[in-house]
Amino acid sequence: MKFVIGFLSMLLVVTNSVLLLFQYHVYSSSLEENGTSFYYEQEIEMKMKENKIIVKQHFNNLSNEQTTILWPISSENRSCDLSISESCNRLSEDLTAFKKGESSKQSISYEIPLVDGFQDKTTLSNFLVKLEKGQVSYTTLHVTDELKRGGMWVSGLPIIGIESLDLIDYSLSYGSGNITDLYWQKKVLPIVFEDNYVTLYSEKEISKELMNQLKELRLPNSEHVSVLFEKNTNHLNASRISFIDSEDIASLQQELIVKNVQLKYGIDPSNLLLAEVISSYLMNRPIGSGKAKWMYETMNNYFTTDQLADWKSKLQSNKRLNAEKLDKLLSNTIGLKTSYFTFNMQFSSENFPLLFEDSRTVYINELQQENMKVLFKDGKVLYAAEPLLAVLGYTLKDTNKGLYVQKTSRAFRFPIHEPFYVLNEKRFDAMSEPFEKIGSVYYIEEAWMIRLFLVDIKKQDKRITITQSALF
């Protein structure tokens, strides 16, 4: 056992020395844009027991500045790793930070309790210590199973070596980037393909055609991922682990591209829609969910040739993306403010159209409105109804009979898709709809707002001022 681990460790040191030198040059160039103070490497030793996991986590290339330690919520028995000399000379007494210091290496230990032990197809998520304002450039993972459960451990890192000895099962993995999930299943799937981008696990051999297509597949700036050709029965949504039912290159390519985008741009796996839309532009074709394809086609139908080129350039040059950042980039490309990505993320079950906003600040009765949206749609100016009416003293209620807008002296009813409205039990004709629902939010058209709610509007370069012309 000592010989095996010693040999693998020696191999690890030699290989890491070369790879980490390359990683340093790649990662250090993007520190400022990522909002990250430093990159660090980590080595993780995980000892699997019946009802807990003992973790030793070693950090290399630490910043000299004080660094906050973010412990896993479930972790217990947090401490210094006393097995290594001077491994904790920067660890604060309350275990919340590495203090200022010259030592670039520190080691800690902790335990993760397993209430139900390790069941088949178990996933550990967010089980490692993180460092505030730090980002992992390289990870080494040792897994030692004292119960000899067998099976397979999958983290997304390339597998370097696996040994089943008399007293333990041992596996070694390492590669660029961080890991957030560790998956175990009893059934061992053979590795049918592996390269710098992906390791494929499958019960049956893949076709020569698929093998050749995989060899030609290139994913720039990609961190390695693991793909299992079987059903995702536990609905695992991990950034570096995928489950695919069909063994066709289109499905596999799509999955790998989306995973690559999530890793490259720091997109949370739960925000799959964003990754799918970005991936569509990298592949120059719509992929992913129906909504992702619709968003892609909607933007393409609006873009001019120059705008499309500018948009793609912006995606390529950015390092970290979320809905708000994408909206800023899109607004800059088009020259008009939009919340296209933000709204479509908020209203996940609905398609929110590509609409543009008046960027001026809105004031109602001289009070600045922080969350007041003013949209342009089909030649109309639309104001978010609920915040507007609330400031004017009205309540808004959405019912199956229509919208009810009321205050002490005035009561409106706006039937659904009917050419009239009711004010204080008196019916009035309406040639157009005063209100329009976009997503799950109601907006009121500007001319109707002035007429029905007796307000004046004054528009200046940087502000829109709405004042009540009469009080009731």
Buried b / exposed e along 24-40 (16+ C-beta atoms within 10 A): eeebeeeeeeeebebbb
Computed over every residue of the chain, the mean pLDDT equals 87
Rg of the Cα trace of the chain?
28
Residue 386's contacts (CB-CB under 8 Å, 6 or more residues apart) are 396, 441, 442
Distance CA 257, CA 244 (A): 14
Q: Is residue 225 within 8 Å of 256, Cβ to Cβ?
A: yes
Residue 378 in tokens? 């089909």
The pLDDT value recorded for residue 8 is: 39
At residue 9, the pLDDT reads 43
- Please tell me the predicted confidence (pLDDT) of residue 144: 97
Residue 260 scores a pLDDT above 90: no
Domains of the chain in start order, with CATH, are 2-188 (2.60.40.1730), 271-346 (no CATH), 358-468 (3.30.457.10)
Structure tokens at 199: 């390791």
Determine the 3-state secondary structure of 439 from DSSP. coil
Nearest-5° angle of CA 319, CA 341, CA 310? Answer: 55
Q: How confident is the model at residue 247 (pLDDT cuts 50, 70, 90)?
A: low
Task: Report the pLDDT value the prediction gives residue 471, as an integer from 0 to 100.
Answer: 64
Question: To which residue do tokens 């039990």 refer?
Answer: 425
How far is 69 from 76, CA to CA, in rounded Å?
14
What is the percent of the chain with per-residue pLDDT over 90, rounded to a whole number? 61
pLDDT at 211: 81
- 102-140 per-residue burial string, b: 16 or more CB within 10 A, e: under 16: eeebbbbbbbbebeeebeeebbbeebbbbbeebbbbbbb
Q: Across the chain, which distance is largest between two alpha carbons, in Å? A: 92
Q: How many residues does the chain have?
A: 472
CA distance linking residue 437 with residue 426, whole number of Å? 24
What per-residue confidence (pLDDT) applies to 158? 95
| Secondary structure of residue 98 in the 3-state scheme | strand
pLDDT of amino acid 23:
41
